[in-house]
A and B are shown apart, each in its own frame.
Chain A
Amino acid sequence: MKKLWITLTYLVFIILLIIPIIKIFTGAWEEGWDGFVEALSRKQSLHALMMTGIIVVVVTAINTVFGVMLALYLVRAGWIGKRMKQFMNSLVDLPFAVSPVIGGLMIVLLLGPSSIMGAFFEDIGFKVVYALPGMILATLFVTFPLMVREVMPVLQEIGSQQEEAASTLGAYSWYTFWHVTWPSIRWGVIYGVVLTVARSLGEFGAVLVVSGNIMNKTQTATTLVYQDVENFNVIAANSIALVLAAFSVGLLLLMEWAKKRKEVH
């Protein structure tokens, strides 16, 4: 009986994880190294990878700063009422509960060219929807809970006494944050960064809705894979998927390492 279960577990693992990876690998190599390079060096491939890169960098930077800040406020701020904190705390999880496509749709409805705000931005020459800012916004929406949820428990665990001790020793909040709080939360933040990078690399639904998936303009790596598949360009799709998968494996290793460090401290 036990053996059967073990075999079954392995089988599920192989079907769900190993076979797709092998398939991506062989798919990308179907026409050898040249096919792979050619698929990647297409103009739209390079542009899509660049867009993904920009989104990852910008989203991770913004999410890290504001995620840590929100976590600090939700855990430490005495001036926010208890009810308000609970409300904000549950609001943070909203992107987890809402489908990314719907998140993207909300952005289109709020900031699209036909909305008041969208029209205003359009007038001053700042296009939000069907452009990079909208894609960044959509990815931010999807990744927002990741950092907050990583940092909050660490802050709760270390408590506020060390920070209070710093304040009685004459340190103000900025100094206290960098010298007392940061060393304790830094592995949590790094873990949050890795999660954010992974999520924004792979985000598809929200970005697809907001971007309009315009080749060489608003296409990201994931939406390009989607388009290549639609066009039966399997080798190209597999090649880009392989690049994304390679990144993910790298992140996974980084994540394991960060997790270990987080537990030590």
Chain B
Amino acid sequence: MHIEVRGLKKQFGDFQAVNDVSFEIEKGHLIGLLGPSGGGKTSILRMLAGLESPSSGDIIFHGKRVNDLPPQERGIGFVFQNYALFKHMTVYDNVSFGLKVKGQSKEFIRERVMSLVELTGLKGFEHRYPHQLSGGQRQRVAFARALAPEPQLLLLDEPFAAIDAKIRTELRTWLKDMIERVGITSIFVTHDQEEAIEVADEIMIINKGRLEQKGSPWEIYKNPQTQFVASFIGESTIVENIERLKGFEEAANWPGTQALIRPEYIEIGKLSEFRLPSATFQGTVKHLHFRGSEWMVEVQVGDIKLITYRSLEKDVLQPGDEVTVLIHRAYLFNDSDTWIMENRLKVDPMPIHI
């Protein structure tokens, strides 16, 4: 289903939960709504479902305005954060609910439910009650139940929040495969960037009721358009006076500008390891943290503290060691603008000063 949202707003009393959000979603895409808790993601999802009515703005499905349609008539499936399974019904009855409401024949229901039960790997559990299932199984029941009436749009509210970390990654891949196989347009809400990046075709970053940026995960990572997006996606250190770092002296031309540097843009090592020694400078290792698959290194350069990662294959550093540091690039931002600045000495190792 093709979805268009124009100027969507939602107010709860004095609180502006959603503020002028507009976007379009192509048929068959899997979209992640990503942002901090309380940012308005769930409100947007609930308005799409018809569970909440917008204060203003239009929601258009397939070119038809659906603002005044109740949830029953929108042709959507909704997976709730805590699944909201009917706890007095078996798995079979839960999944068949939407079909029974529509008055489908018994044989049809049986066939559809059994095929969904098989699809979601719940075979043999049809006669169990929700409280007899594990978290992951409940989530799959919720998914099967939402899909049973063949909705055109699937909405998932924090679908993995209530599942423990280990099964979560498994279920993520499973859900992505499943949605691809069914070919249904889907939108899911999450506050976990890793989850959004891994699962979604496209991410919409929502903060304080506004749509900050929409794009593929790679685009958003590569070209964050606002300071919020830059700091929310990936890890980063904020540097107040970037002009003191070698290669970024030009930043002094924009007073009041701060920089945001991702760990992966910083390289540390011995001077001999760098191809362009002129672009590097010296720093001191301050702390080392073992992160399971790599070292996280805090490097002190003057009064600036930088954070980067170092492979376990390389020589183990000690706090107090002198290291050579190279910063590849940084996001610069001030009140009015954000842009990416490459290390100038790396681009042009021998600048001619006239």
Contacts and interface: CB of A to CB of B under 8 A. Distances in A.
B101 A171 contact: yes
Contacts of B50: 168
Interface size class of A (residues with CB under 8 A): 10 to 19
A170 B77 CA distance: 10
Interface in B280-311: none
A184 B87 CA distance: 9
Interface string B129-154: 00000000000000001101100000
A164 B101 CA distance: 14
B88 A184 contact: yes
A183 interface: yes
A164 B97 contact: no
A255 interface: no
A156 to B, nearest CB: 16
Contacts of B87: 162, 184
Contact of B71 (A167, A175, A179): A167
Given A162-B87, A164-B51, A184-B88, A175 B78 contact: no
Interface string A147-190: 00000000000000110111111111001000110011000000
Contacts of A83: none
B49 interface: yes
Given A169-B97, A170-B98, A180-B86, A164 B80 contact: yes
Interface residues of B, number: 26
Most buried by B among A169, A175, A184: A169
Contact of B149 (A161, A170, A265): A170
A170 B70 CA distance: 9
Contacts of A168: 49-51, 71-72, 74, 76-78, 146
A167 B148 CA distance: 14
Contacts of A167: 51, 70-72
Nearest to A161: B84
Contacts of A165: 78, 80, 84-86, 145
Contacts of B49: 168
B86 A162 contact: yes
B102 interface: yes
Contacts of B71: 164, 167-168
Contacts of B74: 168
Given A169-B149, A170-B149, A161 B97 contact: no
B338 interface: no
Contact of B88 (A166, A170, A183): A183
Most buried by B among A165, A168, A265: A168
A46 B23 CA distance: 75
B179 to A, nearest CB: 17
B80 A161 contact: yes
Interface in B52-90: 70-74, 76-78, 80, 82, 84-88
Interface string A228-251: 000000000000000000000000
B82 A169 contact: no
A172 B98 CA distance: 11
A175 B102 CA distance: 11
Contact of A169 (B51, B88, B98): B98
Most buried by A among B85, B86, B102: B86
A162 B84 CA distance: 5
Given A164-B84, A165-B84, A170 B101 contact: yes
Interface of A: 161-162, 164-172, 175, 179-180, 183-184, 265
29 contacts: A161-B84, A162-B84, A162-B86, A162-B87, A164-B78, A164-B80, A165-B78, A165-B84, A165-B85, A167-B51, A167-B70, A168-B49, A168-B71, A168-B72, A168-B74, A168-B76, A168-B77, A169-B98, A169-B101, A169-B146, A170-B72, A170-B73, A170-B101, A170-B149, A171-B72, A171-B97, A183-B88, A184-B87, A184-B88
